[in-house]
Structure 1
Amino acid sequence: MTTSDHKVSRFPVPDLADMPEDIRERILAVQEKSGFIPNVFLTLAHRPDEFRAFFAYHDALMEKESGLTKAEREMIVVATSNLNQCQYCVVAHGAILRIRAKNPLIADQVAVNYRKADITDRQKAMLDFAVKVSQSAYAVGDADLEILKSHDFSEEDAWDIAAISAFFGMSNRLANVTSMRPNDEFYTLGRG
């Protein structure tokens, strides 16, 4: 049995034809670029206003120019999503990480134990901070920001790391509650 034999979500998923035009257009553009529709788009289309807000914030965090590379942003998602036991995000963002890092091994290493992954000390410091934000944000203090600073992360970079971790904490919880299934396509992307 493949994941495509399962429901995308335990909540209703609207038909593409019944979605608001702006959402349908965004989904079709993603399908054209990737060759398939990631299930997160279908699942979140159940609540159009929240779909728009979710993807607006997602894009603001994940697509802008900053001191973090796009691959590093995906590392944050993969490492924290693993701790939050979010199968969808580990699989989907693991695929994106493999593509952006041009490394077929990196996503599995980061998901299982980033401290032993083939990444830089700077990236490990970034992930230490992201994990702390994800799992115990109440304990973040000035010393954590000083560690980032010692690895040449700016104050704005620290904000980005925290915001990505926090945003995907919400996303992980929603994916788990909806029982969102990773698309089969994600499992092989960036591996060959």
Structure 2
Amino acid sequence: MERNAPVSRFGTVEVEDLPDDLRERLAPVVERSGFTPNIFRALGRRPAELRAFLDYHDALMTSDEGLSRAERELVVVATSGANGCPYCVVAHGAILRLRTKEPHLADLVATNPHGCELEPRQRAIVDLALRLALHPAGFGEADLRAARDAGLTDDEIWDVGSITAFFAASNRLAHLFGLRPNDEFFTMGR
């Protein structure tokens, strides 16, 4: 992806031009990170869709029940790598690096998810996400059994599945938009 490419094929909206509720909702993200993630600027063209995106994203990614927040990001990186989504690999790879303090994990999972060394629990999470991302029609009881045998609870399996499904949609939006990752993501957590 070219550094001077537009952020999105369909243009963007700056935070200050969004409806009040979205400006208020994004303010903590912008304050914490120091920039506005480009996905929010792109989806800002359709405020109702941005609201829905944020609602489902936050329900999946900010829960303190089930998977840890780092494990949730691991699912995103594995799914986004499988779907060839540079924006989500770069953005969520940065978040995974920050949450785990492991500078190589995100890159290894995104580029070689089947071959990289992972802790057994991480392996079960990544394998489940990849199965759902790459072979959803073949998903079944054997996959559930393998995840359970690895120690994942049904709620954690649900988390992996829901996050994988949500980011399959998000990855496709990023492809549609030709979404360019923010430069800031590339150096975060390194």
TM-score over 0.5 (shorter chain):
yes
* Matched letter for residue 189 of structure 2: G
Structure-to-structure mapping, 1:32-181, within 5 angstroms: 32-181=31-180
Structure 1: distance between partners of 2:117 and 2:184: 25
Structure 2: distance between partners of 1:17 and 1:74: 28
Query: How far did 1:19 drift?
Result: 1.3
SS of corresponding position for 2:54: helix
SS of corresponding position for 2:151: coil
TM-score, structure 2 as length reference: 0.94
* Matched letter for residue 93 of structure 2: G
CA contact (8 A) 1:67 1:153 kept: no
- Deviation per residue, 1:135-183 (Å, 9 max, x gap): 2211111111111111111111111100100100000000010011100
* Matched letter for residue 134 of structure 2: Q
Query: How far did 1:70 drift?
Result: 1.1
Aligned to 1:20: 19
Query: How far did 1:118 drift?
Result: 3.7
CA contact (8 A) 2:15 2:36 kept: no
Query: How far did 1:90 drift?
Result: 0.3
Structure 2 unaligned residues grouped into runs of 5+? none
**What is the RMSD computed on CA atoms of the aligned residues?**
1.5
* Matched letter for residue 144 of structure 1: D
Aligned to 2:183: 184
CA contact (8 A) 1:79 1:114 kept: yes
Change beyond 3 A, Cα 1:101–1:15: closer
Taking every aligned residue pair, what percent have the same amino acid on both sides?
49
CA contact (8 A) 2:131 2:139 kept: yes
Aligned to 2:10: 11
Structure 2: distance between partners of 1:55 and 1:15: 16
Query: How far did 1:83 drift?
Result: 1.4
Query: How far did 1:26 drift?
Result: 2.2
Structure 2: distance between partners of 1:122 and 1:30: 29
CA contact (8 A) 1:126 1:148 kept: yes
Structure 2: distance between partners of 1:15 and 1:183: 14
Structure 1 unaligned residues grouped into runs of 5+? none
* Matched letter for residue 103 of structure 2: P
Query: How far did 1:6 drift?
Result: 2.9
Structure 1: distance between partners of 2:113 and 2:181: 22
**Matched positions, count:** 190
